[in-house]
Amino acid sequence: MTGLFITATDTEVGKTVITGAIAAACQARKVNTGVMKPVASGGVRNCQGSLISEDAEFLMAAAKIDCNRRHLVNPICFEAALTPAVAAQIEGKTVDLQLIYNTYHQLCNQHDVVLVEGVGGITAPIWQEFLVADLMLKLQLPGIIVARPDLGTINHTVLTAAYARQRGINVAGIIINGCKEPTGILEHSNLQYIKQLTGLPILGKLPRVSSIDVTAGKQAALAELAEQYLDMNGIIAIMRRTEQ
C-alpha cells in the first residue's frame, strides 16, 4: 500500500480530524500506519519549551506513534499562524523541501501506509511559489478533499477539485466533515451537486461530535467513528490500487 494526501477546501475544515480518523481505523485493522504533517504553522510550546504542532500530536495519538518520532511526523514547524511560506519568511527561516521528501521516504520505509496532512487548502503556499498542490504531485499520493457540509461548500469543493484536475493531481474522493444529523435539504443538495459537478465519489460524511477536539487532544472512539461514517474499505482499496 502507499498512502493518502489529505487536503481540504480551506483551513479548519477538518483535515486533522479526518486524517486522524483514517489513521486510527487503519491502526485498529492492524495496518502499520504512519502519519505526517510535513510543515505546520501556528505551533505551540510544550512543557519542555519545544515548538510542536497540535495537528501532529493529534495524528501521532491517533496512529499510536511514540512522541520520540515527532521529528519524522512533523519535520518543520513555525510559530506564526500564517501560511508556511510567510511564517518562514517572518521568522527568518526557509522551508527545506528536501528535508520533507527525505523524511517522507523514511516514513515510507517504516510503514505500510503513510497518511499526509496538507496545510490550509490546495493552493496554500508552502515555500515561495511551491504550493500544497506541488507537494501532492511530488509525493505522488492519491488525494482526498475534505469539505464542509454547509452553504458555500459546492463552490469551494468544485473549485478545489477542478484545480487539482488542472494540475494533474489524482483525487480519489471527497469526505464531508462536520455534518449535522439529521441531514436537511441544504446538506443533501450540497452533496448531490458536489458529486455531480466533480464526478468524484463521496468517501464519507463525519458528523460533528463532542468527543473530538484537536486542540484539546480529545479523540475518543476515533477508529469506531471512522468505521461507522467513512468508507474505510473503499479508502483502503484506494491505497492498494496505487501500490507501486
Ligand X SMILES: Nc1ncnc2c1ncn2[C@@H]1O[C@H](COP(=O)(O)OP(=O)(O)OP(=O)(O)O)[C@@H](O)[C@H]1O
Q: Which residues bind ligand X (CB under 6 A)?
A: 8, 11-17, 55, 120, 177-178, 206, 208-209, 212-215
Partner from ligand X, Mg ion, none binding residue 141, C-beta < 5-8 Å depending on class: none
- Cβ 56 to ligand X shortest distance, Å: 10
x/- track of binding to Mg ion for residues 148-167 (CB under 5 A): --------------------
15 part of the interface to Mg ion, by CB under 5 A: yes
> Which lies closer to ligand X via its Cβ, residue 30 or residue 117?
117
The reply to whether 37 belongs to the active site is yes
Partner from Mg ion, ligand X, none binding residue 160, C-beta < 5-8 Å depending on class: none
- Cβ 120 to Mg ion shortest distance, Å: 9
- Cβ 102 to ligand X shortest distance, Å: 23
16 part of the interface to Mg ion, by CB under 5 A: yes
**Interacting positions 30-69 with Mg ion (CB under 5 A):** 55
Partner from Mg ion, ligand X, none binding residue 11, C-beta < 5-8 Å depending on class: ligand X
- Cβ 115 to ligand X shortest distance, Å: 12
- Nearest CA-CA partner of 74 in 18, 21, 118: 118
Single out the catalytic residue among 15, 30, 37, 93. 37
Which residues are catalytic, by number? 37
